[in-house]
Every structure is written in structure tokens, then in C-alpha cells.
Structure 1
Amino acid sequence: MMTTTLVLLPSFFFLFFHLLLLFSVTLPFTTQAWNAQWQLLHNSIGMVAMHMQLLHNDRLIIYDRTDFGLSNLTLPNGICRHDPSDKILKTDCTAHSLEYDVATNTFRALFVQSDVWCSSGAAIADGSLIQTGGYNDGERKIRSFSPCETCEWQETDNALVVRRWYSTNHYLPDGRQIIIGGRRQFNYEFYPKKKTEHAKPHMLPFLVQTNDKGAENNLYPFVFLNVDGNLFIFSNNRAILFDYQNDAVVRRYPEIPGGDPRCYPSTGSAVLLPLRNLEAESVEAEVLVCGGARRGAFQLVAHGVFKQALDSCARIKITDLNATWEVESMPMGRVMSDMVMLPNGDVLIINGAQSGTAGWERAINPALEPLIYKTNGSVGSRFVLQGASNIPRMYHSTAVLVRDGRVVVGGSNPHEKYMFSNVSYPTELSLEAFSPYYLDPSFSPLRPIILHPASHANVTYAQKFKMSIRVNGTLVPDLLSVTMLAPPFNTHSFSMNQRLLVLSIGQVNVTGNSTCEFEVTAPGSAVLAPPTFYMLFALHQHIPSHGIWIMMP
């Protein structure tokens, strides 16, 4: 198959470049950057991008805490926030949330009333963002934001049964969210609640068992919906498979090798790797956990010691009865990195630092070079270094994939207030876009263009639907694939609800010069793909198209 691909490339340059693409994974820690590029979108958006969610109208909802004082973005039309419980400003006429339009590279200020600091959320079936918890007067709030030209935040008081600060959300097959943990909360609850539910949270002893005194390390736990309908929950250095419907631990996984913590404030990151062979009798699922701070790093910073971050990534097939961790090393240690699933199933590891831990003034030595993790590569040769940014993205940074294949990157404020001078890592109000190698113009002849279906099509479970695509160069039908990706809620180095599925395709019929059509089978159930909007991508020789939106079911 590789030989066929290379022969069909149109020139020696493309042959050489594609050869490098296919075989660079065999070279450990290659420094080849694959022509990845950075673009400064805005020198300042007026606020720190601490939280970020892409909606199906191609707008990013971005927000920061409200209790540090003034931002650099004024609310329009004389609007001010009047909050008697705010600890800094009772009246504040600056914005702490905004809507960024990817297509036009513009943004507008949004009004959020209560403190959303270190909160959580998920996009639901109708495409709205449901955002939960926060700090102070926001700790029990539910906020919603609907995609429309003039929409604003809607807030509901006391909608959570306990305060939620540093909790994790996961969107469920039945359209609810489960909200797990948070500071001093060893429990979980659902939203919306069923009429029969009591007004107390459900206890989760696993969060007590993984709570480190002095550092906790069980905040923002990594949560993924497994293909059997249970939840994989990773906290500190351990994981369980949890039956949330019956409040029962189904199984316990081995401790991650080395025993170092990976959750906040030690702050590694994690992804559910692509789900494939969705029509098989049993679908396999794998989780990848990378980076973090070494045990004790949080306490040592108080003594001026910044321990080198962990350079290990551990991968586990959570559907195996005898699941074990497979460990490999990154080119450098990383803490507070974001892991972004790319349309072709690779993982971008971006942002963060090489020493220290999460928290104010607790990290040094920024990790300026992203990595791409080749999901299908062999152990020891999966990492490819990318071109560096010149902007440190430390504590409170974010990164989110958008439909054209770029990754929007923002944030960084390792200080209690906004500080722009006389500090090693100033508060960062800029917004950048990182373009992975597949967006390099040299791949234009390979890049597919989706002709059908139209964006925002409705697709039902197990439906077989037609797709047609075109490429500008030579079409290789055997090297086509289709993926769909749920856009996540990103904060504190974890992308909640991030989920990529590789769809089955039927026989490819060439219909013209470099055009073809084929049948695609949608995921068979809401357990595989909870109902919401997904980005659908066509891939040709591992190069993705721009995505379109589809709605499941």
C-alpha cells in the first residue's frame, strides 16, 4: 500500500515529503517539524483564555475567572456586573467571557454574572454549552450558552446539589451530564436530574482513596465513556471502570507505572484514542495518559525547588480483561500540556512547562515545542517534534481543534492577578493558531474536499449515508477514511468529552476525474456516540479535509 501511494505522488518533492511522513515514526524523537506553522490571530483578546469550547456555528466560547479584577475587554452598551459577593470588585464593567468567530477572526464580549473560575462543562444534544460550577458565588450555578448571533449566558442559581470547583463533566448517552468530584467533593451528580433523584450527591469513595494530603491530585479527574457504557475514571495514579447507573465499581485497573500522580495539580493530560471497527462484536478502547508532575513537586516549589516534569506516556487498552499499561518516553518532560485529538487520529501535545507543577508561580521552563503522537506508530517511535511558538503557555492555557484542522491556542496566567511586567511569564492575552503538518500547502493535491453531505446534516444511529469527495491530485480510493470528532470542553490541560470515531466505509466508486462517492456507516448507538454535534472529516492518505458538522442522532 505504501508503494502504491508513493508512486502516485506527482513529483519527486511530494514523494520525498510523503516518504518522510510515513517513515519518520521509525526514528525516535525526530526533530523534523513537518512544516507545522504558527499564526498570531490576535495580540490581545482582552482576557485570559482559561476555558474554551467550540460550538457548531464555528464560534469558540472563551472565559476566565471573574474575581481577579478588571480584564482588558470592556462590556458593550454600558453593561456592568454588580456582584456584592465578589472579593475584589463589587461593580465591574469589563468582560470575562467572549465569543470568537473562527471564520472572521473577530470576537464579541459576553456577559457572565457569577464566577466561572476552574469550572467544567459539555456541549449537549442541541449544541448548547452547559457549564457547571466555579468559585464563590458561581460554585453551584448552571450556565447555558446557545449558538446564535446575539445569544448571551443564561444562569440558574443553586442548580447543583453541592459546590463544584475543579470537577470533571462527561456527556452521557441519555443526554445528561455526570459531574464528578471537585475540591473537597468526593462524589458525583447529574444534570439535568431525574424527578426521582434525591437532592444529595452520590458518594464516590475512589476520590477519597486518591486524595493526597497537601496536594490532592484528584481534581479534574480524567473521565471517558467506555464502549460498554461504563465510565473510565482516572484520578491521581489509579483508574476504575465505574457503572454510574448502578453506583458500582466494575473493575480496578493497575496503578500507572512509577506511581506518580497525573491529575491536578500534578496536571498531566489524557485522551481516549480513536474508536475503530465500530461494527465489530466487541469494540476496543484505549486511553493515553501523558506527562504530569512528580510526586511531591507541589510541596517542593514552596522551597524554591522545581522538579523536572514527567516525560512518560502510558497507554492502556481499557477493554482488555487483563489490561496493562504500556509506557514510553516523550522527548522532554511536560506538565500542564493539552492533548488535542487531530482529525487523522494523531494526538497533538501542546502548551505547558518542563519543570514544576500547576498553580500560581509553580512552574518554570516553558514547553514551547508541541509534539505529535502517532497513534498507530510503534513503541519508541511515536513522537514527532513540531515547530516552537515564541509565547509561553503556562498555567491556565487552552487548545482546541477547529473545523479547518487548525488548533486555536490561548491563555496563560500563572499569577493571582493580571501581571504584564516584572515577571518571568507575563499574563498572556493573545490568541494563536497552530497548523499541523497536514495543512502544509505541499499536501494540497492530497487533501479531500467534501462535496456531500451538506454541513449540519442529521444522521441517525447505524444509518448508512452517502458521501462524495474530490481531490485536486491523484485519487487513491484504498487510502480513504472518515472520522467524526466531538468538540470538547477544554480547561486545565484536560479536554472533557473529546471523542474521535473512525467510521466504516463501503466500496469507493470513482465518479469522475479525482472524485468519488461511497457509503458510510454511522456509529450504532449513543454509547459509542452520545447525541450531539460532531465534526465529520474525510481523509485521503492521512490528510484530512476541512470538516463539516453532523448531528447525532
Structure 2
Amino acid sequence: MNAFRRQATVLLGSLAMFALMTTYDAKAAPNLVDNAGFEKLDSAGWPKCWEKSGWGNGTASYQVVPDAHGGSKAVRLTVSGVTVGDRKTMMYETPSCAPKVTVGRQYDLGLWYKTNTPNTVLTAFRHDTVSGWQYWTDLQTLPVTGTWTRSTVRTPQIPPNTDQITWGAAVYGNGTLTTDDYTMEDATVPTPPPGGCTAGDACTKGSWQVQPTNNPVRSMHASVLSNGKVLLMAGSGNDPDLFAAGTFTSAVYDPQNGSFTVVPTPVDLFCAGHVQLSDGRTLIMGGNKAYPAADGSHGYEGLKNSYIFDPATNTYTATNDMNDGHWYPSYTELGNGDVLSIGGLREDSSGSVTQELFSDATKQWQSLGQVNQTWSYFGLYPSMILMQDGRLFYTGSHVFGNGTPGTGASIYDYNANTLTDVPGLQNKDQRDQSMSVLLPPAQDQRVLTIGGGNVTTNPDANRLSDLIDLKAASPAYTPGPLLPQGTLTGGAPETGAQGKMYVSAVLLPDGKVFETGGALHNRADPVYEASMFDPATNTYTPGMATDPVPRGYHSAAFLLPDGRVMAIGDNPGNGTFEMRISIYSPPYLFQGTRPKILSTDSTHWAYGSSHRITTDTPIVKAELIRPQAVTHSSDPNQRFVDLPLTVNADGSTSLNLTTNPNLAPPGFYMLYVVDAKGVPSVATWVHVM
């Protein structure tokens, strides 16, 4: 895809866009579109309940024309002279004709169109009862056609606080688009009544199983690979004796048969950073150059080394070195496939203020002069989440001690090299070993940050949750619900405001977030509690089944392609390491037969493309979930990308991928479909490029 199209992806993007936006009046009839065929005109000769909207530096011509699909009128939009835009937000008044919608429901949108430009998308706005009108999502890219062609697409589930939507066809390039005969119908599939599950508590709580074979390595790093296996990295495994002996280990786990393959490991990758590259291999950056000296002359020291792990051969290959040492660095893939790494400890044990950029095109770390620098210290494993406009959100989640100066959270614009404080994060200096996730779907741009403590002052860990809408004009955290209380070692109940640090949060294919693991204090007092967070209601459901194995420091939990959750690790203060592996089956796996993806037209997906799949049963939604690369309660790249769908006449389903690579950075993704019971399929792998 050319650079022009890759950048013209959101209404806050960098290219001129002109849009013909529909506005409606909700009716009792099945079609919710008022004046769907443009037959009723106002005194100025323009169709009633429709508006002209646009931004950018080109010119746009709007016409009512007799070349209609039905009736006597259609609307034609011609755009010319478009160059790079001025990043203005698209402005329009609150539509007086927008239909009312119901939270949680889905709607089928349709139109007839002709266009001579591939830069045409079906895009939607929503009215938030708290913050007003805002961009919602691009739904579908419309193929070029010179004859009247019908296009239909099903919306995602209507997000919380939404009471109206408006949508239409947008042109973000030069060309002509003619549209007519719009439709909007409620397409919500009723959820089957409960009562089919006979698995007891597992029906509502899920179930854990401790695996019969132990982990062969002291892994505190896990990366789900593009072949469905899991890379478990230990390095020296936080064991100075193994470091002194040069014993560095990794293993590849196969969830299908429970087998392990021990992998030769070149250096001490203990506390490195790692992220999936666009080609499906795993980039590892930094690691441990030295443990603290007995005489206090230095602390932990960071490596400059970097490696790429290839799942096809189970081998590490060295890249060029980074500019600085990094122990506990961040790792975020950008929309162009590059990787930005920030923070950690340098070779001399001081905090690194050197930002590193790995070029996806050359598979090399860039020299210092090629990388923008703020010379700011973000701490260890600072959670940096890529936003839809290409900026990075530092969530305030980190490890070891206090957060950054100021509010504890910020937005970093790499291209402009600017930092902006984000207010509202509660108790910012006790969010050590908290976890942050971009909530499902990524298009909503909402982040949840949960739990945390402070290894320096070592108070009781907290139960705090914070929520933020990154699409707001001035994003700010607001308090979320408290984490449910759990039990400590031996079954003692928690009291007061006790919560957890070292917490894990995993995005599930039904759109929920599974919260598990953690401890009350630094490397002590594991907490046995698990809950399910619902982004649609901003609530936790307590009382999920709990992992019987303690999961505190150096633990991790992550989603497997079959929809289960795997948990590893625990490294308490006495230096031992938990080698048992636990696997959680969420409640949806006890609700009956799972839908199956029978076929896909392609496993290579371009941005803005539509792909036809067949399933053995009707589905209500589909999504891509990025495979996790997690350590120390940190995976800033974890994301769930909604795929608006079209139900075809032959019973197949077409899935529509966003045009915005910032929403779905390039790489391999797990494709899930979900039926009306909320039961997901086993994933099919697709490569987004």
C-alpha cells in the first residue's frame, strides 16, 4: 500500500479528506435512514437531513444529480487538488437527524455507490452522552466501480454512553463518488437463553488446570509466536550463580501437545524487552550485562545487545547493537513496523535517557543521530501504547519505585518530539508493577490501568483502576471500579484497601479482560483472586476461578490461539522460582459447541481490505488479537482490533480491516469469530501488512 493511503487513516490523520456524512431521523420502520434516496430537498436544493462535511487543502464539489440508483436523485462528491492535510479535526454540528441506537446492539449499514478512486471508506461517528460527537471507526473500504454497486457492513457493538450515530462515505484522495439509497437496520442477534452448560462452577467462573510437565527454564519472558507456539525466555533467570556460570536458557512450548524444545541462548536475556516484528519474528532488545557488585560499586547493568528469534528455526540471530545499554526497556511497534524502545538501565547502572529506533525496513537499530531524543527518563518497562494518530501514551505503569515526574502519565509525539502531561492517574507513585491494556476494541482508544504498589516503600498494593479515553480532545484519567478483593496465602481474606501488584490482564476473544495473579507486597504475599472486566459496562465480575499456583514477581499470563490463558512464573524473595504451568479455560469454553472458521480467502491482509470467510455457524462478530509478548506485567502492544463484517447472500461473511496501521500495526494476528452465545472459535493466523 502506498504511503499516501497508509497515512490517510483517521480523521485526525495527515491527509486532506472530504466526506459526505449522512444524518438521520430515527423511525419505527426497519430502515432507520430518513430521506435515504435524497428525494426530499431543502430550500437551498440540498437533501434534507444530510450535510456537507470536510477538511483539508483540496477542493470539493457536492452535487445533487439525476444519475440515481433509485428514484430521481443521487449525490455526487468530487475531490481534487488534495495534498498533505493540516491535521484539523473534522468539524460539524451535532446532527439533528441522527438515529438513536442502543448500547451493545449492532446495525447493518448499506448504500449503493459508484466511485473512481480507491481512497473511499465507509466511516462512522458516534454521539457520546458524556463528551459529545466524536469519530468512531472506519467500517469498510469501498472498491472502485463504474456501475451501481451495493455495499453493506455490520457495525461493531455500540459502545457505552452512545445514543446516536452518523455515518457515510468518505473520500481521502482525488476522485468522484456517487451514492444513493442508504439503509440502516438493527441486526442484533438475540443471545440464546442460559441453561445449556452442565459444567458446574466452570460455566460462570472458568477452570484452571496445572500442567503435568514443568517449565524447563526459569522464564519471566513469554512471546506467543506466529506458529502458535510460545517462546519462554529466562536468560540467567534472576540467578547470579547461573549468570556466573554463563548458563542462559530459553525454551519453546507447544500448547498442542505440551512439549518443550530447549533453545541455545546467546547472552543473558534476563529482563530484556521483546516484541513481534512485522514478519512474525521476535525482536529482543537489551538484557543483563551484570548483577550488582558485592562492594556496591555498581548495580544491575544493561546490555546493548539485540537479537531476532525466528520461530521457523528456533534460533537467535544478532542484530547490530543499540546505542546504549538497556535493562528493563520498553518496546512498542509503530504503525510503519519500526520499534521504539525507551528507558531501562544503562551499562553503568544509571537510568537510560537514550531512545532507540529499530528500522523495520533495514532490520537495524538506527544511529543516535537518526533518532529523536527527549533526554527524559521514563523508568523501567514504561508502558508505551501506540495511539491511533501515531503518538504514544505513557500509561504510568512501570516497575521499581516511583513513576515519572509530573502527573505520572503523558503523551509522547515522536515526530514532533513533544511530551504532554496527562492528568488524573490515582496515586501515581504506587503504580509500580501495575498493568495497562488498550481495551477492546482498539478503535475505541480506551486504556485501563490496574493495581500496583511500590517496591521501595513497600506499602500494601492497591486496588485502583483508572480509565482514559485517548480520543478525547484533552485526554485525562478518571477513576474506575476497585479491583475485587481476594485471599492471601493460606486463604486469609484481604481487608481494607488491599489489592495487588505484579498483576496480569489478558484480552479475551469475547471482548472481556481477564485479570489474574499478583501479590500484596514486593516479592511476597501472593493474592489469589481473579476477575473479568467488561469494557462495555466498566465493571469487574468477581469470583472467577483462581490459579492454584502463586503468581507474583516474574509471573506472566497470556492468551493462547485456542482461547485459553496460560500462566507461568513466580519468583519470591527467597530466590526460588515457580516452574509449574497453569492453563485457564474461560467460561465461554463451557457454553457448548464452538464456531469454526472453515475457510478464508487469504491469510495475507492489506490495510483497508475485505476478506471472505466461511464458518460452520452464524457469527455476530470477529476480531484480530495481537499475540502477546509479556513480562513484568507489561505488554504495551496487546490489542484487540474489531473487524466490521458483512453477511453475504451465500452465507459467507466478509471481514473489513481498518485502513489505519496505527490501530493494527503490521504483523501476524490471531483471527477469532464469536457466535451469539459469546463463544469464540479457535484462532486462524493472518498476516497484516
TM-score bucket of the superposed structures, by smaller chain? 0.7 to 0.9
> Map of 1:268-417 to 2, 5 A cutoff?
268-275=434-441, 284-293=444-453, 297-301=454-458, 307-327=459-479, 328-332=481-485, 333-353=499-519, 355-357=520-522, 362-364=523-525, 366-377=526-537, 379=538, 381-415=539-573, 417=575
Q: Is the 8 A contact 1:449 1:470 kept in 2?
A: yes
Selected match of 2:225 from 42, 55, 60 = 55
> Map of 1:2-401 to 2, 5 A cutoff?
8-9=192-193, 13-14=195-196, 34-66=204-236, 88-90=244-246, 92=247, 96-136=249-289, 139-148=303-312, 150-156=313-319, 159-183=321-345, 184-192=351-359, 197-198=367-368, 202-207=372-377, 218-235=379-396, 236=403, 238-249=408-419, 251-262=420-431, 266-275=432-441, 284-293=444-453, 297-301=454-458, 307-327=459-479, 328-332=481-485, 333-353=499-519, 355-357=520-522, 362-364=523-525, 366-377=526-537, 379=538, 381-401=539-559
Match of 1:83 in 2: none
Q: Residues 451-510 of structure 1: CA distance to partner in whole angstroms, max 9, x if unpaired?
A: 1217x7111111111122123xxx5x6xx001101112100011131111111112354x
Which secondary structure state, in structure 2, belongs to the residue aligned with residue 448 of structure 1?
Answer: coil
Unpaired runs of 5+ residues, structure 1, are 21-30, 72-85, 209-217, 277-282, 302-306, 420-426
Deviation at 1:159, TM superposition (A): 0.9
Structure 2 CA distance for aligned equivalents of residues 67 and 345 of structure 1 = 34
Percent identical across equivalent pairs?
24
Answer yes or no: is 1:450 the counterpart of 2:597.
Answer: yes
Aligned CA distance change for structure 1 residues 117 and 202 (closer, same or farther; 3 Å): farther
Structure 1 CA distance for aligned equivalents of residues 253 and 629 of structure 2 = 15
Q: Residues 352-410 of structure 1: CA distance to partner in whole angstroms, max 9, x if unpaired?
A: 11x213xxxx431x122221111112x4x433321122210111011110110001111
Moved more, 519-528 or 399-408: 519-528
Match of 1:467 in 2: 613
Deviation at 1:152, TM superposition (A): 1.5
Q: Is the 8 A contact 1:167 1:220 kept in 2?
A: yes
Higher relative contact order (CA 8 A, sep 6+): 1
Q: Is the 8 A contact 2:395 2:436 kept in 1?
A: no
Q: Residues 498-548 of structure 1: CA distance to partner in whole angstroms, max 9, x if unpaired?
A: 111111112354x5xxxx312111111322211100001101122211110
Residue 288 of structure 2 aligns with an amino acid whose one-letter code is Y
Residue 311 of structure 1 aligns with an amino acid whose one-letter code is R
Aligned CA distance change for structure 1 residues 7 and 37 (closer, same or farther; 3 Å): closer
Deviation at 1:255, TM superposition (A): 3.6
Which of the two has higher C-alpha Rg?
2
Q: Residues 252-292 of structure 1: CA distance to partner in whole angstroms, max 9, x if unpaired?
A: 21141344432xxx21000011236xxxxxx5411110000
Q: Is the 8 A contact 2:216 2:251 kept in 1?
A: no
Which secondary structure state, in structure 2, belongs to the residue aligned with residue 404 of structure 1?
Answer: coil
Which secondary structure state, in structure 1, belongs to the residue aligned with residue 426 of structure 2?
Answer: coil
Match of 1:23 in 2: none
Q: Is the 8 A contact 1:67 1:89 kept in 2?
A: no
What TM-score do you get using the length of structure 1 for normalisation? 0.77
Which secondary structure state, in structure 1, belongs to the residue aligned with residue 284 of structure 2?
Answer: strand
Aligned CA distance change for structure 1 residues 506 and 336 (closer, same or farther; 3 Å): same
Match of 2:639 in 1: 499
Residue 324 of structure 2 aligns with an amino acid whose one-letter code is V
Match of 2:182 in 1: none
Structure 2 CA distance for aligned equivalents of residues 401 and 252 of structure 1 = 32
Selected match of 1:485 from 619, 625, 628 = 625
Deviation at 1:45, TM superposition (A): 1.8
Deviation at 1:232, TM superposition (A): 0.9
Aligned CA distance change for structure 1 residues 67 and 457 (closer, same or farther; 3 Å): closer
Which secondary structure state, in structure 2, belongs to the residue aligned with residue 336 of structure 1?
Answer: coil
Aligned CA distance change for structure 1 residues 89 and 331 (closer, same or farther; 3 Å): same
Unpaired runs of 5+ residues, structure 2, are 1-103, 106-187, 291-301, 346-350, 397-402, 486-498
Residue 375 of structure 1 aligns with an amino acid whose one-letter code is P
Q: Is the 8 A contact 1:291 1:312 kept in 2?
A: yes
Structure 1 CA distance for aligned equivalents of residues 355 and 603 of structure 2 = 34
Structure 2 CA distance for aligned equivalents of residues 180 and 545 of structure 1 = 36
Structure 2 CA distance for aligned equivalents of residues 134 and 464 of structure 1 = 41
Structure 2 CA distance for aligned equivalents of residues 201 and 481 of structure 1 = 40
What TM-score do you get using the length of structure 2 for normalisation? 0.63
Deviation at 1:323, TM superposition (A): 2.6
Structure 1 CA distance for aligned equivalents of residues 258 and 365 of structure 2 = 43
Deviation at 1:298, TM superposition (A): 2.6
Q: Residues 301-346 of structure 1: CA distance to partner in whole angstroms, max 9, x if unpaired?
A: 4xxxxx3211011100012013332322111211101111111221
Q: Is the 8 A contact 1:6 1:15 kept in 2?
A: no
Q: Residues 206-249 of structure 1: CA distance to partner in whole angstroms, max 9, x if unpaired?
A: 536xxxxxxxxx32111111011111113325222211123222
Structure 2 CA distance for aligned equivalents of residues 291 and 326 of structure 1 = 14
Match of 1:551 in 2: 687
Moved more, 316-325 or 169-178: 316-325
Q: Is the 8 A contact 1:233 1:240 kept in 2?
A: yes
